[in-house]
Structures are given as C-alpha cells and as structure tokens.
Amino acid sequence: MDFSLTEEQTILQDSARRMVEQEIMPILKANDPDRPLPKSAMLQVYAVFAREGLTAPRLPQEDGGSGMKMLDYGLVFEQLPPAMAISLLSHECTIARIHADSSEAQKAKFLPDLLAGRKICCTGTTEPDTGSDPRGVRARVVEKDDALVINGRKMWITNGTASDIMIATCSAGEGPKGNIMRRVVVERDVSPYEALEISSLGLRQGHLSEILFNDCRVPKENALGQGGDAARILTLTWNGNRPLVGLAAVHLGQKSLDAAIEYSKVRKQFGGYIGAKQLIQERIADIAADVMASRLLCYHALDTIDKGGRANGTSAMAKRFATTACERAVSLAMHVHGAMGISREAGLEQLYRDVRMLPIPDGTNEVLTLITGRDLIGLDAIRA
C-alpha cells in the first residue's frame, strides 16, 4: 500500500491551493463573514469552479464532466473553504443525480447552465420531521391536468436561497413497500418556490435554507427516473459525500494545527516559549494525530469507491471519525492559545463554529455509527 501522492496528485493539490488563495479567498474576504454571500459573489465563485471542472467532477468527460477519480476530487475538495466546499457538494451532487436519471432531452435542458456555473442548484430531501431516512418524506407530488403539483416543506437545504434549480424528493403516495418517492426538477423561474434563509452557528457565508412549496406547478416532463428509485440514488451519492464532508473537517483541523504550532513558537510564558513546554507539545501532537488519521480514513474511503469496493460502512466511518476528531483538534488548538483562543481576532472561534456544523449533513454521527455497525456485523440495528 502506497500512502504517498503521485506527482500528478501533488500538482493537482498545489493548483487547488493556489486557486483558493488567488481567486476564491479574495471574494470571501470582500464580503461579510457572518452573512450568506450575495448571489453575484456566488456566481463569481462558481465561474472558478466551472473553469476547473469542479461543477461535475463525477461525470465522464464525454458528458460534460471532468471524470475525476473520487480520491483526486477529495484532494481538491480538502483545499476549499468549507462554506464553499459544502455549497459545491450540493451543486455537483444535484448535477450527478440529474445526469443519472434524466433522458437526453432533460440533460440538454437542465445541465448546460449548471455545468457552466451560470446557475446554481440544490437537492431538497430533508424535512422538519425527516432527516437520514428519506423514505419518510411528506412533501407530496400529484399529477393534475398537464402538470405535477408539489406541496410541502424542505428544511436544511444547502444552496436553497441561492438556487435557480432544485431536485425535490417527494412522496407520490403509498405502494406495496411503503412510501413511493419521486424526484422532480423544479426550475425557480418557471415554477417559483419560496426560500427562507436559516441563521446557523457556522458556515455563515453559505446558504442554508427552508423551501416552501405551495401548489407549485411543475411541467410533467421534469420528473426524473422511475418512481421508487430515489432511495438507491441517494445512498450511492451519500457514500461519496461522507468522506468529502470529512475532508472539509480536515481542512479546518489543519488550519487549527498550523495556528497552534505558529502560536506556540511566539507566545512566551514562565520564562520561555510555550512550544517548549511538555503539555503544549502533547496537545499539538494530539491535534496532528487527529488531523492525519482523519485525512487517511477519508482518502481510504474515496479510494475504496474508485476501486469499486463496498463503501457504505467505510464512508460512514470516515465522516464520523473525521468530524469528531477535527472538532476535538480545533478545541485543543483553542486551549493552546489560551485566552486568545476564544477571541475573534485569532480566528479559531470561526473554525470551531464551522467544524461543529459538519457532523450534521449527509448523516448524523448516530446514524453513521449504525451504518458502520451493520456493515461490520451484518445485522440491521435500524429496522427489522
């Protein structure tokens, strides 16, 4: 097993760092860090993503994507500011879902502007009473005359208020095996929906939203796939998303490690630099171990997907471990900084708020624990 990156992967990673430093961070710094980016700024960021082939990394090149391996995508994803990384994840996964279950006519209609970053998209699955089990959705879609009519609410939707297009996962009624889910592409300019911003602890330059559908009429030809296959598509997508979210946590953990090392070399206490104190070195060593272990688990999960292996438990384990370990890493870095650690000036409090957001999307740690356990033991603790 080779743990070193290839020359091409190293170049890819370095290029991503330069892209962030030179093009994305100036946009973020020019805007309020505690408010969602204006749509115009979001489109500037997405123009960079589109140029770099990041709006559709999972799609093959012949279909307009960049055909990246998941591990290579992860190497780039780790370098992105987490608020923009999570936004990109919502966008590119929605594109992948449209591509997977669309006719050629639907692809030609929906994908060009999304691939080019001229429009932003999202997926609406979770609801006030439905999270990790999408079979419990209550938003209803019914056929009426020449349209599909949607009523209901979606909660915790990344990109919702900034979106031009969304996939709404809806219930089409009860079937022999329970709730029949149906996915519909909703174009906001054709079928208006209301999107409300949700104020949150961290990732504040992103867009976290509640979506309201009130007799929203959508053309019938916007329905995707076959009724009842939504759960399968969501599961396949989640397996790739979870280690990517873990790498967003690694990004924050690495920043906290860098800050702790730098501070330990300049802060003096008890007659010397605190970096020479044994307990400070222990804390920094623990931070480094948390970050490295998290990174390797996430890389392993993505590599498993690339090699066609079963990734349900591996991906769940990677996200659960990385989000927990990197939250601990940021907290330890705050301790290294002492009183400075809780100041806004040092920036660690933002890292802490951001990393605390990441255990929630794409499966909570409790659900991921059960997925990992089921994969290891072979017995389902969630349902009989």
Between CA 45 and CA 28 the distance in angstroms is 9
Residue 332 has pLDDT above 60, yes or no: yes
pLDDT in the model for residue 2: 74
pLDDT in the model for residue 235: 65
**Average pLDDT, integer, range 99-105:** 89
**Average pLDDT, integer, range 309-315:** 92
Between CA 70 and CA 97 the distance in angstroms is 16
Looking at mean pLDDT, say which of 39-43, 271-275, 369-373 comes out highest. 39-43
**Average pLDDT, integer, range 361-381:** 90
Q: How many residues does the chain have?
A: 384
Q: What is the pLDDT of residues 218-249, one digit of tens each?
A: 999 999 986 545 455 566 778 899 999 999 99
Position 310 confidence tier, pLDDT thresholds 50, 70, 90? confident
**Token pair recorded at residue 168:** 């709404």
Residue 214 has pLDDT above 70, yes or no: yes
Position 132 confidence tier, pLDDT thresholds 50, 70, 90? low
Measure Cα distances from 242 to 39, 105, 156, 256, 351 in Å. 27, 31, 17, 22, 19
Position 151 confidence tier, pLDDT thresholds 50, 70, 90? very high
pLDDT in the model for residue 284: 98
> Whole-model pTM?
0.93
**Average pLDDT, integer, range 135-157:** 92
Residue 40 has pLDDT above 90, yes or no: yes
Residue 142 has pLDDT above 80, yes or no: yes
Between CA 223 and CA 220 the distance in angstroms is 6
Query: Cα 217 vs. chain centroid, distance in angstroms?
Result: 29
Looking at this protein, which amino acid is placed at residue 147?
A: A
Residue 86 has pLDDT above 90, yes or no: yes
Say if residues 239 and 315 touch (Cβ distance below 8 Å): yes
Domains observed in the chain: 7-115 (1.10.540.10), 121-226 (2.40.110.10), 231-377 (1.20.140.10)
pLDDT in the model for residue 234: 60
**Token pair recorded at residue 319:** 């996200």
Q: What is the pLDDT of residues 253-307, one digit of tens each?
A: 999 999 999 999 999 999 999 999 999 999 999 999 999 999 999 999 999 999 9
- Number of Cα atoms under 13 Å in the Cβ half of residue 132: 16
**Average pLDDT, integer, range 328-355:** 96
Between CA 66 and CA 85 the distance in angstroms is 17
pLDDT in the model for residue 191: 96
Residue 384 has pLDDT above 60, yes or no: no
pLDDT in the model for residue 135: 76
State percent of the chain over pLDDT 70: 96
CA neighbor of 205 nearest in space, from 70, 340, 349, 37: 37
CA neighbor of 330 nearest in space, from 354, 300, 310: 354
pLDDT in the model for residue 231: 53
Task: Count CB neighbours of 118 within 10 A.
Answer: 13
Q: What is the pLDDT of residues 49-83, one digit of tens each?
A: 999 999 999 999 998 999 999 999 999 999 999 99
Residue 118 has pLDDT above 50, yes or no: yes
Measure Cα distances from 107 to 63, 65, 87, 115, 178 in Å. 9, 12, 21, 11, 30
pLDDT in the model for residue 363: 86
Pairing of strands 147-158, 165-175: unpaired
What is the average pLDDT score of the chain?
Answer: 93
